[in-house]
Structure 1
Amino acid sequence: MAFSRNSKAKPAEEGPVDPVPWETVFRFVVGSVERPRTPKQPRSVFGKPAVRVPTGGKDRPVLAPCAFLGSSSVAGLPSRPELTLYEDADAQRLLCWVDEPEEADGETRHTVRDAGGEVIGVLRRVPPKRPFKHTWRIEQPGRPEIVGRNEWASGSAGQVASRFAVRAAFEAVDSLFHAGTDEKTTGKARSLEWRADDKIVMTSEGSREVKIEATWLDRRLAFAFALVGDA
């Protein structure tokens, strides 16, 4: 059979993306895009809503799942689907969940529990002091309190100034995973810097993207913040 010289072969179908271990994640987003659109990857490929880790190369980036969000079709959910995470796509292995928020002393508390119901830690939303916005605290047993606030208000004057230089580099990398993902964002996400004993533990862009700096941070607490959202 003769083929036209102008005919183009269809790109090979990509197989499903294998999950990666959640315990050692250092950077993640929450969403359903599995293979973002790029010039060499013309269509976004979607999977189940999950906590996803950027992998792959520049031309064919992949957002591999490490924990899957719950669904209303799953029986016996311990919390709302959007506040529940499973280790597998079939929702057979519970990872953690976030309790309904509680108000105490003007703060909003979100308790995070493991698969057995034991408390992993607590997220605390602290009311704002004008002219600033609200801040966050993370309590992880056996570790110093983690304080999350606007990154431009954290650290020394020299550290604040240096962030302008590194911001461009981060944005160049971020574009690989956010450009053409078919996920709509509204407005500029607030950048938070999370510190314990004046050392950076993690950074976040709204609840869209989180980067973990401290190896000792329980990843499930970082996941919980992304699920709750910086609202």
Structure 2
Amino acid sequence: MGILGRKKDEPTIDPVPWAGSGGPDWFTIGDVLRPATFRRKALTGERAVRVPTMRDGVRYFVPAALVSSADGAHSEPPSYELHEAAQPGNLLCALTPVKGGARYRVTDAQGDELGLVCRTPAAKRTIQHGWWLQQPGHPDIVARYHWAKGTAKEIATRGKEKAVRAAGQLVGSVVDSVLSFGAEGGDQSSSYTPKPVTWRTEGDEETVVLTLGHLEGVTVYQPHADWLDRRLAFALAVVRET
């Protein structure tokens, strides 16, 4: 009997370092090692920070940091730990909820604070995505919806004016259409191309720090600012994708 029906052996996928020259350019959170295609079934593994890479013309999402609930706890809100995928005994960072989950304190293996992952107050969720970052020594890092242009002060002023003129229309149409973006959990039509989510520093001189997009149906994050601690970016993604 011939070997036409034999499947090729799956390649060995080794973990990659979580930080090389500044850390990975792209990463995702999840258990997808290889997305499903019309020719191949999906491959999955442990929940991890994963880095996209090509092997023999096929894209894989290789683990860089393993994600787990701290101490196996099932509390609400949960705590998390990230360990190096290549050396699981090495703790990269821990995420501990503060004030009922409105913020997560992110600490390194020594317990020193790296920064905070903060939940956007309800009053700002019509113009700003649900989670944002604080890193010591830098302005707040927030992601506003694409229709919310201008400085934070200008947006706040316009937001008040719109609320007075047409609060129902603002909530009923603009917000609903924005929340249809796949990263926020809404439905998408086959012809809709979601816009990336962009986290920028607040202030007069905004800096693009982190973006979110999609790659072969998988949500991916791309750090841009050299000074951004990659562990904070990982922490933000873990909270958002939980």
Q: Same fold (TM over 0.5)?
A: yes
Q: Which residue of 1 is the match for residue 174 of structure 2?
A: none
TM-score by length of 1: 0.68
Contact 2:29 2:241 in 1 (8 A): no
Task: Summarize the Cα distance change of 1:131–1:70 in structure 2 as closer, same or farther, 3 Å threshold.
Answer: closer
Question: Which position in structure 2 is the counterpart of 1:94?
Answer: 91
Shift in Å, 1:10: 2.4
Instruction: Return the TM-score normalized by structure 2.
Output: 0.65
Tell me which moved more, 204-213 or 121-130. Answer: 204-213
Higher mean alpha-carbon deviation, 202-211 vs 26-35, is at 202-211
8 A Cα contact 1:51 1:223, kept in partner:
yes
- Residue 13 of structure 1 is matched in structure 2 by 10
Contact 2:128 2:143 in 1 (8 A): no
Distance 1:131 1:75 in 2: 31
Distance in structure 2 (CA, Å) of the matches to 1:59 and 1:82: 38
On the 8 A contact 2:114/2:135 being kept in 1, the answer is: yes
The aligned residue for residue 237 of structure 2 is: 226
Amino acid of the residue matched to residue 123 of structure 1?
V
Which position in structure 2 is the counterpart of 1:34? 33
Q: Measure how far apart 1:66 and its partner are.
A: 1.1
Contact 1:70-1:91 within 8 A present in 2 as well: no
CA distance in 1, matches of 2:228, 2:125: 30
Deviation string 1:199-227 (CA, Å, 9 cap, x unpaired) is 21111259943121112110111111111
- Richer in helix (by share): 2
Instruction: Tell whether the 8 Å contact from 1:34 to 1:64 is kept in structure 2 after alignment.
Output: yes
1:139 equivalent to 2:150? Answer no
Is residue 153 of structure 1 aligned with residue 148 of structure 2?
Answer: yes
Partner of 2:24: 25
Match of 2:115 in 1: 121
In the TM superposition, what whole-angstrom CA distance separates every residue of 1:156-177 from its partner, at most 9, and x where no partner exists? 9xxxxxxxxxxxxxxxxxxxxx
Match of 2:53 in 1: 55
Give, in whole Å, the separation in 2 of the partners of 1:154 and 1:43: 42
Instruction: Provide the C-alpha distance between the structure 2 equivalents of 1:46 and 1:64, rounded to a whole number of angstroms.
Output: 10
Aligned residue in 2 for 1:204? 212
State the AA in 1 paired with 2:206.
D
How far off is 1:63 after superposition?
A: 0.4
Identity of matched residues, %: 31
Matches within 5 A, 1:72-91: 83-88=80-85, 91=88
Query: Size of the alignment, in residue pairs?
Result: 193
Which is worse superposed, 141-150 or 190-199? 190-199
Mapped contact 1:36–1:45 kept (Cα < 8 A): yes
- RMSD in angstroms over aligned alpha carbons? 3.6
